[in-house]
Structure 1
Amino acid sequence: MAQSNISRIVLAGLSGGTGKTIVSLALARAFKRAGKRVAPFKKGPDYIDAQWLSLAAGRPCSNLDPFFHSTEMIRSLFFHKSCGSEISLVEGNRGLFDGMDEHGSCSTAELARMLDAPVILAIDCTKMTRTVAAIVQGCTHFEPGLNLAGVILNRTAGERHRSVLRKSIETHTDIPVLGMLPKISSNPIPERHMGLVSDQEYDVPAQEALDALADMAEDLLDIDTIVDIATNAPDFGSDPGPIYQSESVKKKVRIGYVQDASLWFYYPENLEALEHAGAELVRLSILSDEPWPTIDGLYLGGGFPEVFAERIADNTTILAHINNLSESGMPIYAECGGFMVLCDSLEVNGASHPMAGVFPVGTSFCPRPQGLGYTEAEAVEDNPFFSTGTCVQGHEFHYSLCVSDGSSTLRPALKMLRGQGGGVGYDGFLHKKTLAGYNHIHALAVPDWAIRFVAAASEYRSKS
């Protein structure tokens, strides 16, 4: 595609919970139903919203995160993932200007400037009228370089409410109102402790829910003007360079990754990085008792093992197989939910469920988050995935914590410089060639991870 015409918009909110995810899903599905090829993106560390955006657009969603990635990497990732699309939609996170400090570093507004993308702001108008105009005016002038191209008014109460809102914004600002949505009596996509429920669990077919949102968007939003805003975004410029600095390597090992309803938190780029480094990927399940094929390495992502604890525990054959693979010296990398599966037990609502037993501790599911936010860690011991001294940037969002009777100890490979990890300042626990903890990484932020993973799998294969 001609790179000067990447049609793009950023959909932002004033805070978390304003309804921007619902609006983003509605727009993505409406664009798709209009016959457009949609490239979806999610700002920040997020798996669940990203998965729903993928379903809505019919195309994998990539995460763009200024904490993990330089401006050059973000522009490169956006450029290449937008190729072949007709419109690129970026859903922001938290409030438009909310970042890691008082200067708004790593905010949605900062990302929009990196992409030189127009911003559409979704505003929760509950119990507000003219004040919304003041908010819009303030957002327009708060930071230089922000292109606030329109607003969508959400959770409006009725025709009179909508009339006052529109007239207030039109009278006091130059920002167009691109649609007004009513209060929805119930969320069409239910939520749980970590955000929207997975599409793999939703009892009403996910596609029907997304089509219902698109119906709403087509009836109540000015889709044509929104498309025009995206189409008239400034020239993006020439190719900013490849995502990966090295050439793709011929497939030489098989790395299995568990992707089922219990474990499915994977950034697409993590899997792509493994393939780029020479891995053939094999999709596996810990909910099915179907035997696994021969593999040379294993990747266990995050997810919701607490929801499926009983089913996982009942699958004793696969759990024993995972333990045997670890004992054999196979390189195994596990994040959060994957770590929980590798421990001795998982306690949920007072009931203890036996897990794979690779690590001699249990995990217990709690009603409140035990770790939340960006992380930074230093590798303090060589392991198959990070050399000593490597700075590992990541994030965590876990409701479980490690529990031990005090008779067992874990061997940590990562010292936490920021974040909670597995507790007492450490994470990334080692057993032979298995490394597991609560930390999630993005492969493009730790470029040696995939290369070292494939090299360890190759070594294991040669000795098998």
Structure 2
Amino acid sequence: MVQNTLSRLILAGLSGGTGKTIVSLALTRAFKRAGKKVVPFKKGPDYIDAQWLSVAAGHSCSNLDPFFHSVRDIRALFYNKSQGSDVCLVEGNRGLFDGMDEQGSCSTAELARILDAPVILAIDCTKMTRTVAAVLQGCLQFEPNLRIAGVILNRTAGERHRSVLRKSIETHTDVPVLGMLPKIRTNPIPERHMGLVTDHESDATAQHALDALADMAEEWLDIEAILHSAATAPDFGPDPGPIFPGQPASKKVRIGYVRDASLWFYYPENLEALEHAGAELVRLSLLSDAPWPSIDGLYLGGGFPELFADRLAANTTIMRHVKTLSNAGLPIYAECGGFMVLCNSLEMRETSYPMAGVFPVGTSFCPKPQGLGYTEAEVVEDNPFFRTGSRIEGHEFHYSLCVSEASTPLKPVLKMGRGHGGGLGWDGFLHKNTVAGYNHIHAVAVPEWAPLFVAAASKYRSSS
């Protein structure tokens, strides 16, 4: 039998905001600088952390989520994406045992068991000494079949503080201390309304910031011991099979997708699923006035259109073109930021900016999230992308809300069982062959989406 060792670890925290993202980025870049091929993963539906991990590793990052991925899907994603790697690092989310309920379903701990991966805990030690040992003891005993392979102590105050922390852990537990990080006066990667500032906005300084984090890791963490912990992961087991079923289809349609500073939230597997189903992908921009090539379908992901509302509004040629394509029946699928672009207007800081005008509503940016978390929906209207009656699991994270501007009602495709969507229990609005809303999906969790998208694009191509 072939041994699938797959050196791997999960970097987890005790809660959100403990610094695990900074530690994950620091380790990922330090591993890369040590000559390792690092394949990063992010637990949960986060786009921004995943993008930073991609930049740090120089390798695409995939998301793993026990809510909308089956155990088989998680293992297939991990196995296939990790081939050829020297080490795989999975960044957890929230606290190690935090899930959707009191049983911790869909937690980072659950993912660790699915992957049979060692866990390294990053603990914020601000104003804490001996209590850290009690916390570790609790984690060690809380759930079975979980191996905590080490701990990284974050935000330590000085040598005396670090000495007491280390002695407390070594006296009361068997957990190795793999490093102790000092407090960082200035976060090298600042945050704003949806998380970390994106590498698109700080491209000139992104590599410098990541190298600064790697410098810190090399000075304060035991990189070799951490790599050894990852290497102690047991055999992964048999090949779980391919990510997508069947053989890749021959290329028969051209589907454009906007990827620029305004829209760039795409799971790599969503684009791969379209290619597997027979699409040639064409990268486009809403911020450039360069004319678009001929396409048979259009995918508008999420992003930050609110930060570029003035430039989007000024690019009237492309905005008119998008509306013309929609009215002509081009299959268009848009998520969150893409939906905002397709509306009549986008209001930001009391200024209203005209958008493409496909849907007779506007969106208004708010200071607090208007939809945040996992979603469950039923498909209630015939459309090009989902089968009527099917159930869709996804997620949403948006600060804007949908504001009615006309008496003409929107035709919703999705009835929300969980989540806010576009409001009043509905999302995924339909205009001709355009479906747009706040809901994000992962193609592996919704396997019908990509083949139906390609089929709709093929039908459009044949009729045009």
Please classify the TM superposition score into its range, dividing by the shorter chain length.
over 0.9
3-state DSSP of counterpart to 2:145: coil
**Counterpart position of 1:374:** 374
**Aligned 1:54-453 pairs, distance under 5 A:** 54-202=54-202, 204-453=204-453
Q: Which amino acid aligns with 1:346?
A: L
Letter in 2 for 1:350: E
- SS at the partner of 2:305? coil
Q: How does 1:34-53 map to 2 (within 5 A)?
A: 34-53=34-53
Secondary structure in 1 matching 2:93: strand
Taking structure 2 as the reference length, the TM-score comes to 0.99
Q: 1:261 to 1:2 in 2, by over 3 A?
A: farther
Distance 1:3 1:327 in 2: 54
SS in 2 for 1:31: helix
Whole-angstrom distance in 2 between the partners of 1:203 and 1:37: 22
* CA positional deviation for 1:241: 1.1
Post-superposition offset of 1:143? 0.2
CA distance in 1, matches of 2:159, 2:279: 57
The answer (yes or no) to whether the contact 1:3–1:239 under 8 Å persists in 2 is no
**Range with greater deviation from structure 2 (243-252 or 299-308):** 243-252
* 1:3 CA displacement: 4.7
Name the SS for the 1:307 alignment partner. Answer: helix
Alignment partners' CA distance in 1, 2:405 and 2:245: 46
Q: Tell me which stretches of 4 or more aligned residues in structure 1 moved more than 4 Å.
A: none
Give, in whole Å, the separation in 2 of the partners of 1:320 and 1:345. Answer: 13
Give the deviation of 1:408 after TM superposition: 3.0
What is the distance in 2 between the residues matched to 1:195 and 1:29?
20
2:99 is paired with a residue of what secondary structure? Answer: coil
Q: SS state of the match for residue 49, structure 2?
A: helix
Question: What per-residue deviation string (whole Å, max 9, x for no partner) do you get for residues 147-189 of structure 1?
Answer: 0000000000111111111111111100011000011111110
Letter in 1 for 2:149: A
The residue type paired with residue 56 of structure 2 is A
3-state SS of 1:205 partner: helix
AA of the residue aligned to 1:31? F
Q: Which amino acid aligns with 2:369?
A: P
SS at match of 1:443: coil
- SS of the residue corresponding to residue 451 of structure 1 reads helix
Code of the residue aligned with 1:64 in structure 2: it is: L
State how many pairs are aligned. Answer: 464
Identity %: 78
SS of the equivalent of 1:408 reads coil
Alignment check: 8 A CA contact 2:26 2:214 kept:
yes
TM-score (norm: length of structure 1)? 0.99
TM-aligned CA distance change 1:304 to 1:59, over 3 Å: same
Question: Alignment partner of 1:248: what SS?
Answer: coil
State the alpha-carbon separation in 2 of the partners of residues 140 and 116 from structure 1.
Answer: 16
SS in 1 for 2:307: coil
CA contact (8 A) 1:43 1:65 kept: yes
Q: Which runs of 5+ in 1 are unaligned?
A: none
Structure 2: runs of 5+ lacking an equivalent = none
8 A Cα contact 2:361 2:406, kept in partner: no
Q: CA deviation at 1:302?
A: 0.2
Q: Distance in 2 between matches of 1:131 and 1:60?
A: 38
Contact 1:361/1:408 (CA < 8 Å) preserved in 2? no
Residue type of the partner of 2:311?
R
**Counterpart AA for 1:248:** P
| Deviation per residue, 1:248-299 (Å, 9 max, x gap) | 1000000000000000000000000000000000000000000001000000
What's the RMSD between the two structures over aligned residues? 1.0
